[in-house]
């Protein structure tokens, strides 16, 4: 989350001064604020967990302190008894003053057990002292770490309030130009609708070709007198068929973060206006190179109005779409591998940053790419 916040902060600095980029900046701010809140929540959870550990360790320190005090008191009594005994008589005199050999043996056993008990008590005091010191040191480290975390939460909350204030100012500025904004929204909605229709059409054509090919193969098989199976060029590669198992593991097609999410969402400046999106929009920072998320076959490379060049790649029964490309390095019929460079992303509508529109389909149904890409 910290890395995502740093990335969006850099993008915000680039778009800070130009009014025509205000909507793009607002979208970035919304993502920044969301990421900041998630970071604060994560730190707060860590603070709660650490606070629980501190309480537990403090209880252990208190118990060890009491045990150590008790052991030291008991050992002090042992030393007093030992000194008193030494002043009164020596161990040898104590042994030889016995009335019988049996009594002398018992006195010897008693002295040996007494000395062993003294040694054990001394070792127990030493080990308890070490444990106590370790826990005290651990407690001190945890308290220092707690102060760092609390300071971090305070800093993040302060930054969050600043970002919210900037957002409110930006919203007020944009509201003054509501007419122009509504026009831009209408244009964007129209472009998005055209994109959705054209991509759906591309996939529908691919599905029809697939069905026609399968039908033709069945007809040839019926007429064929050969007993051997027909060529498998129409059967998807086993490698392509593994796409369904890659849910949550797909590599990102470009280095960046998502600014436009899958589904229908209200526009940040016009909550009543719902923007439909069959995929995700990725704001690229740095290299605008676009790569495939999985191995497959390029079915089509077409120009789509308002979205530049678009590449459609087939992965068995799945399809991936890479739109808003400035240039492409593949053509229809090419086999492509995972993370193979297939083009470069074009700039967004405000000419502020490179942007990739990415979609994922299963047959004629659009899927949410966020659930398939690596976290």
| pLDDT the model gives residue 130 | 76
Measured distance CA(290)–CA(294) in Å, rounded: 12
Mean pLDDT, residues 14-20 taken together: 46
| pLDDT the model gives residue 51 | 79
Residues 300-320 pLDDT 10s:
898 876 668 999 999 988 999
Phi then psi for 251, rounded to 5 degrees? -70, 155
CATH topology of domain 2-11+18-176: Helix Hairpins (1.10.287)
Buried b (16+ CB within 10 A) or exposed e, 150-177: eeebeebeebbeebeebbeebeeebeee
Same fold, 2-11+18-176 and 179-225+234-371: no
Phi then psi for 159, rounded to 5 degrees? -65, -40
Domain 179-225+234-371 has CATH 2.70.70.10: yes
Q: What does pTM read for this prediction?
A: 0.54
Measured distance CA(373)–CA(359) in Å, rounded: 11
Spatial CA neighbour of 242 closest among 316, 301, 177, 192: 316
Residue 228 gets which letter from DSSP? S
Residues 230-263 pLDDT 10s:
444 444 455 556 899 999 999 999 999 888 889 8
Q: What's the full length of the chain, in residues?
A: 375
Residues 193-236 pLDDT 10s:
777 788 788 888 877 887 888 888 888 887 764 544 444 444 44
| pLDDT the model gives residue 62 | 78
Strands (E), 232-285: 256-260, 263-267, 270-277, 279-284
User: Which residue ranges make up each domain of the chain?
Assistant: 2-11+18-176, 179-225+234-371
Measured distance CA(269)–CA(229) in Å, rounded: 60
Provide the 3-class DSSP secondary structure of residue 117.
Answer: helix
């Amino acid at each position: 989350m910290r890395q995502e916040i740093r990335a969006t902060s850099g993008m915000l600095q680039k778009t800070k001064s130009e009014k025509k980029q205000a909507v793009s900046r607002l979208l970035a701010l919304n993502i920044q604020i969301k990421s900041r809140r998630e970071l604060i929540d994560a730190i707060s959870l860590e603070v709660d967990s650490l606070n629980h550990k501190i309480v537990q360790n403090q209880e252990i320190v208190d118990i060890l302190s009491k045990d150590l005090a008790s052991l030291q008191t008991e050992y002090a009594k042992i030393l007093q008894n030992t000194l008193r005994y030494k002043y009164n008589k020596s161990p040898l005199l104590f042994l030889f003053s016995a009335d019988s050999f049996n009594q002398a043996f018992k006195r010897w056993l008693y002295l040996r057990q007494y000395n062993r008990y003294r040694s054990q008590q001394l070792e127990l005091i030493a080990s308890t002292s070490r444990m106590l010191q370790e826990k005290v040191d651990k407690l001190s480290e945890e308290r220092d770490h707690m102060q760092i975390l609390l300071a971090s939460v305070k800093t993040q909350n302060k930054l969050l309030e600043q970002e919210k204030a900037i957002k409110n100012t930006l919203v007020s500025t944009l509201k003054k130009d509501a007419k122009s904004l509504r026009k831009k929204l209408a244009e964007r909605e129209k472009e998005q609708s055209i994109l959705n229709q054209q991509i759906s059409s591309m996939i529908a054509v691919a599905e029809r070709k697939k069905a026609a090919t399968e039908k033709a193969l069945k007809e040839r098989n019926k007429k064929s007198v050969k007993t051997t199976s027909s060529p498998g060029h129409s059967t998807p590669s086993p490698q392509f068929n593994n796409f369904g198992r890659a849910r949550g593991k797909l590599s990102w097609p470009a280095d960046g973060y998502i600014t436009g999410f899958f589904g229908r969402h209200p526009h940040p400046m016009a909550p009543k206006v719902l923007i439909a999106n069959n995929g995700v929009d990725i704001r690229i920072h740095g290299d605008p190179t676009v790569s495939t998320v999985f191995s497959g076959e390029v079915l089509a490379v077409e120009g789509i109005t308002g979205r530049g060049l678009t590449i459609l790649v087939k992965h068995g029964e799945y399809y991936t779409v890479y739109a808003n490309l400035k240039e492409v390095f593949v053509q229809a019929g090419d086999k492509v591998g995972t993370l193979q460079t297939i083009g470069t992303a074009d700039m967004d509508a405000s000419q502020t940053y490179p942007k990739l529109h990415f979609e994922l389909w299963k047959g004629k149904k659009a899927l949410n790419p966020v659930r398939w890409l690596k976290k």
